[in-house]
Amino acid sequence: MPLSKKLTAEFLGTFWLVLGGCGSAVLSALIPDIGIGILGVSIAFGLTVLTAAYAIGHISGCHLNPAVSVGLCTAGRFPAAHLLPYIIAQVIGAIAAAGVIYLIASGKAGWTPHGGLASNGYGDHSPGGYALKSGLVSEIVMTFMFLMVILGATDKRAPSGFAPIAIGLCLTLIHLISIPVTNTSVNPARSTGPAIIVGDWALAQLWLFWVAPIVGAAIAGFAYKSVFEKE
C-alpha cells in the first residue's frame, strides 16, 4: 500500500475521531434534559475508533493518534521512517475536524470557543479541578493501558477480527475514568485540534497532552515487546 494512501486514511480516521468524540462533547453533552453527558461522550469516542478501525485498519493500521504510532514503533510493529508522516497526517486531520466543529457550534447565538471546544486541561481547566500531577499520572497510565490493549488485541496470537471492538471499548472505559481529570486526551492529535482553535490556555497546557501520552505509549511498547512477545 503506498504511503500516500496510508496518510490519507490516517487523516480521515483522525478527522472522524475528533469530529465524533469532541463534536459529541461540544454539541450534545450539555443540552438540558437530553444531553448525553460523560457516558455518551465516552461511548462516542469508542465508536469512532471502532468504526474507523473496520473502515481503514486494513489500509493504514488505523492509528489515529501519535501516541499509538509511537507505541507501535517502540514495540517493533511500525517503521520509524513512517512515524513523522503519520503524526503530521493525524494532526492535520484533528485540526480540520476541530474547525468543522467550530463552524457548526458557532451557528448558535451567543456561543464562543472560550469554553474549551472539548480541549484538554488541568488545574482550573480540568473538568473536576484536578492538578497538574493528577493530569500527568492519568494521561501516562491511561495511554499505557490503551497501548497494552491495542498491542494485545492486534497480536497475531489473538482472535482475528475482534481487535476494533476491544480497542473501542477500551477507549470508552478510559474516557469514563479520566474525563473528570483532563477531559481525556491519550492522543496528542486530538488535543492539538481544539487547542489550535481555542488558543490561550489550551495552547499553554497542550505540552502535557503531548508529553504524557507519548511517554505512556513508549513504555507500553517496550513493555509488551519485552514481556509478552513470543520468543
CATH of residue 55:
1.20.1080.10
Find where cell 476541530 sits: 98
**What is the per-residue DSSP string for the chain?**
--HHHHHHHHHHHHHHHHHHHHHHHHHTTT-TTT--HHHHHHHHHHHHHHHHHHHHHHHH----SHHHHHHHHHTTSS-GGGHHHHHHHHHHHHHHHHHHHHHHHTTSTT--GGG-TT----GGGSTT---HHHHHHHHHHHHHHHHHHHHHHTSTTSPTT-HHHHHHHHHHHHHHHHHHHHS--S-HHHHHHHHHHH-HHHHHTTTHHHHHHHHHHHHHHHHHHHHTS--
The CA distances from residue 200 to 91, 194, 195, 197, in Å, are 19, 11, 8, 9
- Give me the mean pLDDT over the 129-156 stretch: 97
Q: Which domain holds residue 21?
A: 3-226
Q: Is the pLDDT of residue 30 over 80?
A: no
In this structure, is residue 191 part of a structural domain?
A: yes
- Give me the mean pLDDT over the 140-155 stretch: 97
The answer to whether 178 and 138 are in contact (CB under 8 A) is yes
Where b means 16+ CB within 10 Å and e means fewer, 43-82 reads: bbbbbbbbbbbeebbeebbbbbbbbbbbbbbbbebbeeeb
In this structure, is residue 63 part of a structural domain?
A: yes
Q: State the pLDDT at residue 48.
A: 97
In this structure, is residue 231 part of a structural domain?
A: no
In this structure, is residue 78 part of a structural domain?
A: yes
Who contacts 195 (Cβ-Cβ below 8 Å, separation ≥6)? Answer: 119, 120, 202, 203, 205, 206
Q: Is the pLDDT of residue 31 over 90?
A: no
Who contacts 46 (Cβ-Cβ below 8 Å, separation ≥6)? Answer: 168, 169, 170, 171, 172, 175
Q: State the pLDDT at residue 116.
A: 76
pLDDT in tens, 158-180: 888 899 999 999 999 999 999 99
Q: Give me the helix-helix angle, 66-74 and 188-198, nearest 10°.
A: 150
Q: Is the pLDDT of residue 231 over 80?
A: no
In this structure, is residue 120 part of a structural domain?
A: yes
Confidence of residue 142 (pLDDT cuts 50, 70, 90): very high
Query: What is the C-alpha R_g of the chain?
Result: 17
In this structure, is residue 27 part of a structural domain?
A: yes
Confidence of residue 61 (pLDDT cuts 50, 70, 90): very high
pLDDT in tens, 87-110: 999 999 999 999 999 999 988 877
- Give me the mean pLDDT over the 25-39 stretch: 86
pLDDT in tens, 106-135: 888 777 776 678 999 999 999 999 999 999
Cell numbers placing 56: 481503514
Report the chain's mean pLDDT, rounded to a whole number.
94
Who contacts 77 (Cβ-Cβ below 8 Å, separation ≥6)? Answer: 151, 154
Q: Is the pLDDT of residue 84 over 80?
A: yes
Structural domain count of the chain: 1
